[in-house]
Amino acid sequence: MIEETLKITNKHGLHARPAAHLVKIAGKFKSEVKIFKDGLEVNAKSIMGVMMLAAEPGSDVLVHIDGEDEKEAFIEIKELFDNKFNEE
């Protein structure tokens, strides 16, 4: 199990497009990917879930990955956060 806090640094936060990128990457892996923010827990493979976080720029989210390919999943997800969701 990998758990780490990541910061949202893109311009608008987890709007529809960046959320779609995240869901697409999370969906590639067998591991369970959950995101926690402000007491809310959502599945990162659901766009509805990710958008429900209403994560604004500058906010922190806790990413929780559990499963056989968790390392690969974490690397790619972290990269996506670092690259500002390939937005800018």
Partner 1 sequence: MKNKESTKQIIIKGLATAPGIAVGSAYVFKPFAINLTELDSVAPSAEEECEQFKTARAKVLEQLKFASKQSLESYGDEFSDIFDSQIAFLKDTLLLEEISAKIYESNQSAAYAVTAVLSQKSNHFINLENRYFRERAFDIIDLKQKLLMALFGIKIDYHLTAPSIIISENLSPTDTVNFNRNLILGFLTDQGGKTSHSAILARGLKIPSVVNGKGLSKVIKNGDEIILDGFEGTIVINPEPETRGRYLELKENYGQRQAVLVAENVKEAVTKDNTKINLLANIEFAHELSEVTGYDADGIGLFRTEALFIENNSVPSEQEQFKIYKKIAKSLEKGFFVIRTIDLGGDKLLEGLTDAEESNPFLGWRAIRFCLDNPQIFKPQLRAILRASAHGNVRILLPMISSISEILQVKELLSETRHELQTKGFKIPSKVELGVMIETPSAAIMAPTIGKYVDFLSIGSNDLTQYTLAVDRTNSKVAHSYSSFDPAVIRLMHSATNAGIANNIPVSICGEFASVPSAVPLLLAMGLRSLSVTPHFIPRIKKIIRSVHIKSCIKLYDKIQTLHSASEIEHECDEFIQTHVPELSISKEDI
Catalytic residues, by residue number, are 15
Torsion of CA 12, 46, 29, 70, to 10 degrees: 70
DSSP assignment letter at 85: G
45 binds partner 1 (CB under 8 A): yes
We find the least distance from the C-beta atom of residue 28 to partner 1, in angstroms, to be 13
Phi and psi at residue 45, to the nearest 5°: -90, 0
Smaller CB distance to partner 1: residue 27 or 71? 27
**Tokens matching residue 44:** 């990162």
| Shorter beta-carbon distance to partner 1: residue 1 or 58 | 58
Binding string, residues 53-82; x marks residues near partner 1 by CB under 8 A: -x-x--------------------------
CB 40 within 8 A of CB 34: no
| CB nearer partner 1, residue 45 or residue 64 | 45
